Amino acid sequence: MQVFERFTLGLPVFDGSSNAYPLEARLKYREREGKVTFWYELIRPDRVFKSAVTDELTRIKEITGFPVISGKP
């Protein structure tokens, strides 16, 4: 049986956001006792999250006109 290995999802990272970010996933499967089980593993979701945060911070800065300060206290 041949099955594709990867696929891309377009998902908003934040609830209520209209921006969808491409998120790659790896399809996994296992055959055991005549049954096939499928699942997926996200590939580098941390990078997608970081990109979404950066985009939102830029948007907030543009809307408010205030600088965005980030870091550790």
| DSSP label of 16 | T
CA distance 57 to 67: 9
For residue range 30-69, what is the model confidence (pLDDT) as tens digits?
999 999 999 999 999 999 999 999 999 999 999 999 998 8
Note the pTM of the prediction, 2 decimals.
Answer: 0.76
Q: Are 26 and 11 in contact (CB under 8 A)?
A: no
The pLDDT of residue 25: 97
- Residue 36's H or E segment, with its range, is strand 35-42
Of 52, 50, 47, nearest to 15 by C-alpha is 52
Domain positions in the chain: 6-64
CA distance 12 to 21: 6
